[in-house]
Structure 1
Amino acid sequence: MPKDSHGHLIPGVVSPQRQVPASIPRPEYVGKAAPTKHTGGDVYAPDEIALIRESGRIAAQAIQLVGESIRPGVTTEELDRIAHEFLVANEAYPSTLGYRGFPKSLCSSVNEVICHGIPDDTVLDNGDIVNIDITAFKNGFHGDSNYTFIVGEASQEVTDLVARTQEALARGIKAVAPGRQVNVIGRAIEAYAKRFGYGVVRDFTGHGVGAAFHSGLIIPHYDSAPQFDDIIEVGMVFTIEPMLTLGTHEWDMWPDDWTVTTKDKSITAQFEHTLVVTERGAEILTLP
C-alpha cells in the first residue's frame, strides 16, 4: 500500500514537515502563500552561473544518493529523509519545502504520477518506476534536476520508456542554440517521442530558474508551440524536463492540489537538467 485493487496509487500518510536549521537561508517564498514575482530576467553573469552550478551539483548529488536506496520495500518518505538530511548537511535549503505549501523536500512521482508526487508511506514494489525531483537553494540560487529510477526490474516496455525519456532530454538540450526560439526544444523532443507513440505532456514544462525557483520563462516539451517564442540568449539559465507517457498526455490532479497523474493511468517517466546557454549550445549545471 497505498495502492488500490488495480495497482494504481492512492494517497498515503504524509509525515510532519521536516525542520531546516535556522542557520540555513530560506528562499523568500517560505512562509508565504506564493513567491514574489521575479523581475530579474533569465540571463546571468558568470559569477552567478557558478553559484547556480554549485546548487545544481548539490541537487544532483542528492538525487544520486537517493537512487542508491531505491529498492523494493523502501517508502518514498524514507527517500525524502535521505535527501533532506543531505541537503541541509551541505548547507542548502530544499527548494520544494514550503513552496506554495508543498510539505516535503523532494517530489517522488511513482508509475502513473507525472510530477509533484508528495513523499508518504507508499512502499515501492519491484517493477515500479519513481521520478525523484530535487532542487537545492544555496547562496541565493536554485539548481533543479530530476531522474527516473527503476525499482528492481521492470517490463521491457517500461524500461524502454525510461531510457527514451532520458534520450529525449538529451535531444532537447542539443537543440539549444543562441538566436533560436525556445519552442525548438519541444520540436526536437516530440519528434523523437512520436517515433515510439509516446504521449508528450504539454501542461507541465521546463522553466527559467536561478535567483527564482520558477522565473516565468516557459520551455515547452511538445511541437506546435509557437506562442513560446522567447529568443535563446547566451547566459540564459533554464530547465528542460520532458515527461513522456505510454498513453495519453492528458492528466488528472489529486485533491492535494499537487499530485498529477495520467488520465488513463499509463506509466510516465521524466528527466530534468538545469542548463546555461553558451555560444556553442548549452552546458549542464546539474551534474554530481
Structure 2
Amino acid sequence: MRQACRIVAIILQELTEAVKPGVRTMQFEDIARKRCDDFKVKPAFLGMYGFPYALCCSVNEEVVHGFPSDRVLEEGDIVSFDMGVVYDGFYGDAATTAPVGRIDAAAAALLQVTRESLETGITQARTGNDLYDISRAVQKYVEGHGLSVVRRFVGHGIGRKLHEKPEIPNFEPRDAHPVPLQPGMVLAIEPMVTAGGPDVEVLSDNWTAVTKDRSLSAHFEHTVAVTKNGPRILSLVD
C-alpha cells in the first residue's frame, strides 16, 4: 500500500505543478493516465461505479467527483484533485487542492484550514483512540475557523478495495458506536470543507457534487496506517 500511495503522491505533485491560468482541466486527466501507464498501475477510479475518468478534478464550488473537461482555469480559481491507483492488488488514494495563480485571502484561508484539519485528524489515528476522535478533531478545527464540514461525503477504510469499512466522517455523528483503532488499520482521511454552508447537491451528470450555496470548497486526503508507533502517512512522495 505504501508503494500504491507513493505513486498517487507523485502524480498529485505533478498535477499541482501543472496548475496555472489558461490550462484546460482535461490536460490533468492526460497527465494522470500517462503516469499510470508509466508506473504500470491501474487508475482506481476509472470505471468504478461507472465513473468515466481516472481523475476527479473539481473547480471552485465543486466539492468532489468533478469531471476533467475543456474548462479553462482562470486566475484566482482553486482546483481539487482526487486520485487513486491499484498496485499489486492494493489501493492508494489521496487528494489535494491547489491555487490557480494568485487567489484571494478567503480562498487561501480555506485551503490552509482544510489542509491543517487533515493534519489535526491524522494525529488522532493512534492505537487506543476511537475512530471518532479523528472526526471530532477535524470538525472542531474547521468550525473553529468559521468554515463548514461537508457531511454527505466521508473518508473510508482502504486496502484490497478502494472503499472498505469503517466510514470516517469529518464530523461527530449522533449515536455513533465506538470503533477502537488498532494496529494494521489503514484509513483514507479526507476533509472536504466549504467557505459557506455544509450542504451539497449533485449536478445533472450524476457525479459532480457542488456546494448548494455555491461557496468555494477544498479537499485534502491522505491514506494513513495505524501502527503501534502512531500514525504513518503512506501517501507521501518521500
Band of TM-score, shorter chain: over 0.9
Amino acid of the residue matched to residue 95 of structure 1? A
Query: C-alpha distance in 1, partners of 2:173/2:133?
Result: 9
* Correspondence for 2:182: 233
* Correspondence for 2:12: 63
Partner of 1:61, secondary structure, is helix
Larger radius of gyration: 1
TM-score of the aligned structures, taking structure 1 as reference length:
0.80
Return the structure number with greater strand share.
2
**1:197 and 2:153 matched:** no
Partner of 2:4, secondary structure, is helix
Q: In the TM superposition, what are the counterparts of 1:135-174 in structure 2 within 5 Å?
A: 135-174=84-123
* Correspondence for 2:49: 100
* Correspondence for 2:23: 74
Shift in Å, 1:235? 0.6
* Correspondence for 2:60: 111
Q: In the TM superposition, what are the counterparts of 1:123-272 in structure 2 within 5 Å?
A: 123-227=72-176, 229-272=178-221
Q: In the TM superposition, what are the counterparts of 1:20-31 in structure 2 within 5 Å?
A: none
Amino acid of the residue matched to residue 160 of structure 1? A
> Taking every aligned residue pair, what percent have the same amino acid on both sides?
39
User: Does the 8 Å contact 2:154/2:167 carry over to 1?
Assistant: yes
User: Does the 8 Å contact 1:276/1:283 carry over to 2?
Assistant: yes
Shift in Å, 1:225? 4.4
Query: C-alpha distance in 2, partners of 1:100/1:147?
Result: 22
- The alignment covers a number of residue pairs equal to 237
Amino acid of the residue matched to residue 70 of structure 1? V
CA displacement, residues 75-94 of structure 1 (integer Å, 9 cap, x when unaligned): 11011100110011101111
Query: C-alpha distance in 1, partners of 2:34/2:190?
Result: 25
Shift in Å, 1:180? 2.1
Write out the 4+ residue segments of structure 1 that deviate beyond 6 Å after TM superposition. none
Amino acid of the residue matched to residue 97 of structure 2? T
Amino acid of the residue matched to residue 77 of structure 2? D
Q: Provide structure 2 residue ranges, at least 5 long, that are not aligned to the other structure.
A: none
Partner of 1:217, secondary structure, is strand
Q: Provide structure 1 residue ranges, at least 5 long, that are not aligned to the other structure.
A: 1-51
